[in-house]
Amino acid sequence: MRKSITLFAISSILFSSCAEWKKAADDENKIEFSVEEGGGRKEKRRPKEEVVNNPNNGKTTAVSSSLLEKYAVQLGVDKKSLVFPELYAYIDGWIGVPYKYGGNTKEGVDCSGFVNAVYKDVFKTVLKRSATEIIGQCKEINKSELKESDLVFFDISGKNSHIGIYLQNNRFVHASTSKGVMISDLTQSYWQKAWGRAGRIL
């Protein structure tokens, strides 16, 4: 009887989803393993995480060190200069999401919908829906005063018709009509010509 119970328990483990990740007992070494067909076990070392505290909402979040390094390289800055690590962890899940007018999900999002999602989930701040309305919630600042998380506005199809979130070193993240959510450079001629204004949420 005991042998039958043991075999049933083993079978239950083996026939659970083979793609499901299991935590090893050694959390300190950040090791995970997956159960493969045939009962084998494949270990995978998780990337080192850094525990960071967001001063805006008091949340403590574990952010992958390699993720922060990736964005630091992309922005051309030192990893330690990233003010809101949680911001980068969040936008990483949105990069490549297609543009959809009026959209506000990862199925498709427009520029103001993306900014709304970031501010709501990362900074716990509710913004108005359109770029022209959001400008009214901002204190206008000079382009030279831009800091991480400030908003940038562009006059493309009209005044304040496009919006993005400033990161660092002239880079900003936004939902573009052509490539969806992406990081662009303010120094590119297109964005220089379309430049409208910069704002900081009050």
Q: Could you tell me what percent of the chain has a pLDDT over 70?
A: 70
Quick: pLDDT tens for 64-79. 999 999 999 999 999 9
State pTM to two decimals. 0.73
Q: Could you count the other beta carbons within 10 Å of the beta carbon of residue 61?
A: 16
Residues 84 and 92: beta-carbon distance below 8 Å: no
Question: In this structure, which amino acid lies at residue 143?
Answer: K
Report, as an integer, the average pLDDT of 36-51: 53
Longest dimension (CA), the chain: 79
Based on DSSP, count helices (H) and strands (E) in the chain, helices before strands: 6, 13
Structural domains of the chain, ranges and CATH numbers in brackets: 2-45 (no CATH), 64-201 (3.90.1720.10)
Q: Catalytic positions, please?
A: 111, 162, 174
8-12, 79-83, 121-125, 140-144: least confident range: 8-12
Q: What is the 3-state secondary structure (H, E, C) of 124-150?
A: CCCCCCCHHHHHHHEEEECHHHCCCCC
CA nearest 86: which of 104, 71, 106, 98? Answer: 71
Contacts of 164 (CB under 8 A, 6+ apart): 111, 115, 151, 152, 154, 172, 173, 174, 184
If pLDDT is split at 50, 70 and 90, which confidence band does 62 have? confident
Question: Does residue 108 carry a pLDDT above 50?
Answer: yes
Above pLDDT 90, what percent of the chain?
66
